[in-house]
């Protein structure tokens, strides 16, 4: 099955924009939807992006998702950073061949 690789950590200042990447190791990123989950310390994950670029109700439009077949990766972009965005972010997709759900290793976002 494929792997999803994320940077271990990113940091940016409040009000700025940050992008977190998620690279698929084999097979096309376009084959299956990519989801993004936010996990604040001590809390369960919640969805910020589903189906590559859709936001659940209640998620601010500062969060956006995209995919790029040339780099075989998905990206989560957070604009107008707030201290409350500080969290771990996980990408997730589905492996048709192995019939299993796959998570990236997670990225720790620090807003300083």
Partner 1 sequence: QEQLQESGPGLVQPSETLSLSCTVSGGSISRTGYYWGWIRQPPGKGLEWIASIHYSGNSFYNPSLKSRLTISVDTSKNHFSLRLSSVTAADTALYYCARWSMLDRQGWHFDLWGRGTLATVSA
Binding of residue 96 to partner 1 (CB under 8 A): no
- The dihedral sign for the CA sequence 95, 101, 104, 107: positive
Site string for partner 1, 26-65 (x = CB under 8 A): -------x-x-x-x----xxxx--xx--x-x---------
Minimum CB distance to partner 1 smaller for 87 or for 104: 104
Based on CB atoms, which residue is closest to partner 1, 37 or 111? 37
Cα atoms found within 13 Å of the Cα of residue 8, Cβ hemisphere only:
0
Between the two ends of the chain, the Cα-to-Cα distance in Å is: 37
Cβ proximity to partner 1, 100 vs 112, nearer residue: 100
Report the C-alpha gap between 32 and 25 in whole angstroms: 13
Among 13, 15, 16, 101, binds partner 1 (CB under 8 A): 101
Instruction: Please provide residue 71's backbone torsions phi and psi, each rounded to the nearest 5 degrees.
Output: -105, 0
Size of interface with partner 1, in residues (CB under 8 A)? 25
Residues 6+ apart with CB under 8 A from 81: 12, 13, 14, 15, 16, 17, 18, 62, 111
Q: Does 7 bind partner 1 (CB under 8 A)?
A: no
Q: By the criterion CB under 8 A, which residues form the site for partner 1?
A: 1, 33, 35, 37, 39, 44-47, 50-51, 54, 56, 88, 90, 92, 98-106
């Amino acid at each position: 099955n494929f792997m999803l690789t994320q940077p271990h950590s990113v940091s940016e200042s409040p009000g700025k924009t940050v992008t977190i990447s998620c690279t698929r190791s084999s097979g096309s990123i376009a084959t299956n939807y990519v989801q993004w989950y936010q996990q604040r310390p001590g809390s369960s994950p919640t969805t910020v992006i589903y189906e590559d670029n859709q936001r659940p109700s209640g998620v601010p439009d500062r969060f956006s998702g995209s995919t790029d077949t040339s780099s075989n990766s998905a990206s989560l972009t957070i604009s107008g950073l707030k201290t409350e965005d500080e969290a771990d972010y996980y990408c997730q997709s589905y492996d048709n061949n192995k019939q299993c759900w796959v998570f990236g290793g997670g990225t720790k976002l620090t807003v300083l």
